């Protein structure tokens, strides 16, 4: 049975919400943002175990710096969580 959890990261300009869904070999994360930089939901697949991802994302949502909380995640995924710019998009600074 697939598990899911919704987490929120508040910041001065709004709130980022992530929904983490467990799948057979990975997880899917749906990210949305409300506030000054409001964005529609977007989903990425991430190769992380569910429990580990939830623990790390919870630490980030609680205020830990993303580079520390998700230190073993691809930098493009961390950038997407912060900015909403998916890996490979021109606006994702890691793309250049």
Q: pLDDT tens-digit profile of 39-66?
A: 889 999 999 999 999 999 999 999 999 9
Cα separation of the two ends of the chain: 39
pTM: 0.87
CA distance 53 to 87: 18
Element (H, E) at 46: strand 39-46
Token pair recorded at residue 49:
């175990």
Q: pLDDT tens-digit profile of 32-42?
A: 989 877 788 99
pLDDT band at 91 (very low <50, low <70, confident <90, very high): low
CA distance 77 to 20: 14
| Residue 68, C-beta contacts closer than 8 angstroms, at least 6 positions apart | 59
**What is the per-residue pLDDT for 96?**
41
């Amino acid at each position: 049975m697939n598990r899911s959890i919704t987490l929120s990261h508040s910041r001065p300009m709004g709130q980022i919400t992530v929904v983490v869904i467990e799948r057979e070999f990975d997880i899917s994360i749906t990210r949305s943002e409300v506030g000054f930089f409001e964005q529609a939901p977007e989903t990425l697949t991430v190769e992380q175990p569910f429990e580990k991802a939830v623990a790390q994302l919870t630490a980030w949502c609680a205020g830990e710096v993303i580079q520390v909380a998700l230190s073993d995640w691809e930098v493009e995924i961390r950038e997407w969580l912060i900015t909403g710019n998916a890996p490979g998009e021109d606006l994702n600074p890691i793309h250049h």
